[in-house]
Chains A and B, each alone.
Chain A
Amino acid sequence: MKNRIKELRTKYNLTQEELARKVGVRRETILFLEAGRYNPSLNLAHNVAKTLKTTIDELFHFQDNK
């Protein structure tokens, strides 16, 4: 699953640490999210999208597993 977290985080001048604090997770979780190595829960995805002033659909690019 690809995402635009890094792009939007940079746009809003947020560090990984700041974003992590805003959404209430550890910095490493943001690092893994950005690298596409962690699939967040719906709740975390919503919080990240809200913090980055976007929607889950805009933030995450889901790929069909067919």
Chain B
Amino acid sequence: MLNKLRFFLLIIIFVLIITMFLLWTSMDVLKSGLNTSSIVMFIATAILVIFAIYAIRKVRTSLKRGDPLKDERTRKIEMRASAFSFYISIYWLLALGFSIDYFKLEIPPSSVPGLGILGMAIFLGFSYWFFSKKGE
């Protein structure tokens, strides 16, 4: 029951995030046409959709098999991945700020937090994948 609730919660969260990204991108395109930031946002949305499909399918398979969605190993991986991605994200945010200034990138200030969050999400996903394959 709790697992099914988590599954539906996961779907709702993904739908909300993807809708928000699509709205944000659409508003950006309508306001200032197709530019670098809108292309980045489109790519981000596409990555999110792919990740959402992968995550939902994985959870659905686990539910069908009757596996718990989380156990002590996955919790350990989550903790390690969160800590690692948080550490890397600090450098990502610094690099993002530096790159915008140094390369004079035409990214609207409203898109910068989005890029920051996207980078953090990608690092978290990558860290989770890395630690889950690495083992101890």
Q: Which residues of A contact B (CB under 8 A)?
A: 17, 20-21, 24-29, 32, 35, 37-41, 43-44
Contact = CB atoms under 8 A, between A and B. Distances in A.
Interface stretch (B61-69, B92-100, B122-130): B61-69
A26 B73 contact: yes
Given A24-B71, A32-B73, A32-B135, 15 more contacts: A21-B66, A25-B68, A25-B72, A26-B68, A26-B71, A26-B73, A26-B74, A27-B65, A28-B73, A29-B74, A35-B135, A37-B135, A38-B73, A43-B72, A44-B72
Interface residue range, chain B: 10 to 19
Question: In terms of DSSP, what is the predominant structure of the interface of chain B?
Answer: loop
Contacts, number: 36
Interface of B: 62, 65-68, 71-74, 135-136
B93 to A, nearest CB: 33
Contacts of A41: 72
B62 A38 contact: no
A28 B135 CA distance: 11
24 contacts: A20-B67, A21-B66, A21-B67, A24-B68, A25-B71, A25-B72, A26-B62, A26-B67, A26-B73, A27-B67, A28-B73, A29-B71, A29-B73, A29-B74, A32-B73, A32-B135, A37-B135, A38-B135, A38-B136, A39-B136, A40-B72, A41-B72, A43-B72, A44-B72
